[in-house]
Structure 1
Amino acid sequence: MSLRIVVCVKYVPDATGDRSFAEDLTTDRESVDGLLSELDEYAVEQALRIAEEADDAEVTVVTAGPEDAGDALRKALSMGADKAVHIEDDDLHGTDVIGTSLVLAKAAEHIGYDLVLCGMASTDGGMGVLPALLAERLRVPQVTLLSELSVADGKVTGRRDGDAATERLQAPLPAVVSVTDQSGEVRYPSFKGIMAAKKKPVETLDLEDLDIEAEQVGLGGAWTTVLSATERPARTAGEIVTDEGEGGKKLAAFLAERKFV
């Protein structure tokens, strides 16, 4: 039986752009270019490596977002994923991580899965809790923040590197796994891969297809809200300490005044 791998990816604002909030205090995704979250590329890479080592495997990438989010799926398909699922619905606007976990869990069940792979966090929200929420909704084990993983004999095995120790973890399939940016170098899409991606199937679903009520997602269904936001002040010129033999003392006094030392 084919190993069914589902990879959750996100279309995020380019971190090098001038990111800001929209009028409703959600992330402004219109005035800045978007792309596949860099941290999710590692999840795609690990899914492809597992599939290459398996006798029979299929990699499906899934995302929830507006039409432009399809660009994230096409990047993953050009890397080598087999097919994609795009959940697109106007009522998703403003959905927080709780609602997103519901949508992606329903999508995983719709697709069918043995292994769900995620990045360690998104580069826009950065919460890092989606894999745990997904595992809870799917009622399967979670093995998170892995820098190394493999799948064999119906189990996923991996290594988690901490500040003080390294852990070896194992869980039976089906399971939810997240990987870090230390899990392995991400491949670049080849020209052949880019051309092949144009012919790969992309299924589009909405909330009704997943049996989700609009009230469960969006701003109205969010468990978190932004009450206010202030633009970061422009960087000002720093204080110049002229060294005329007393530079060290002046620097120490400057640091002590601001309680840095």
Structure 2
Amino acid sequence: MTSAELSHDAFLGGLLHLWQPRKGYRAGVDPVLLAATIPAVSGQRVLELGCGVGAAILCLGARVSGLSLTGIEREESYAQLAARNGDGALEVITGDIADLPLTLRQRQFDHVLANPPYWRRDASVAADDPTREAALGEQTPLSVWIEVAAKRLAPKGYMHVIHRAERLPDLLAALPSYMGSVEVLPIAARHGRAAERVILRARKEGRADFRLHGPLILHRGDVHLDGDQYTQEVRDAFRTGASLVF
């Protein structure tokens, strides 16, 4: 892509800047929220499935230093941008998660994260832009995303997935039997609103009871107003790279 086709956007209050296309799929708040919930510590290995331009995994790397970061992305143009954004700190592999390269199938990670496409195309209309469609339209079944993430985890490793709330039953049904200590964080726009997103956490060989957390509320007040209306914990995650306790 040419420079005119790209924007250089600030994330985490300027702690991180990402090149991404001006048109097509652009990273929003979901990858930032996902990254903020991952309890990674320095020295651990992290894999993102479908990393796009690297928003989620690089937000995590900006918050926690000393991580070994790897992403796999099917769209070559986005993989190239992810490598550029990582500037040597992110290993980017171009490939399909449904047919992982041998270099990944032989490795295990302490954390695997994913922001799979949200829309089932048997019940929705495809996007006109091919990159938006690749990011938003479910071509690889959600169950495959979960299976691949689970297989790449080291013992006691954590999986984190963000998705639409109505797909929670599908997420839970797809978990292999060896994935336990399941937790769900609903995400709602405002108090009193139904959750629109969920973050699923599961641990390989985990044995803790299932936990359904209270919702993470994104905005203060009952109605939309101009200006920054984020709740304090969400603002801290977006503006300073703070973690979200989950």
Query: TM-score band, normalised by the shorter chain?
Result: 0.3 to 0.5
Which structure carries more relative contact order (alpha carbon 8 Å, separation 6+)?
A: 1
* TM-score computed with the length of structure 2 as normaliser: 0.36
Higher strand proportion (structure 1 or 2):
2
Larger Rg: 1
* TM-score computed with the length of structure 1 as normaliser: 0.34
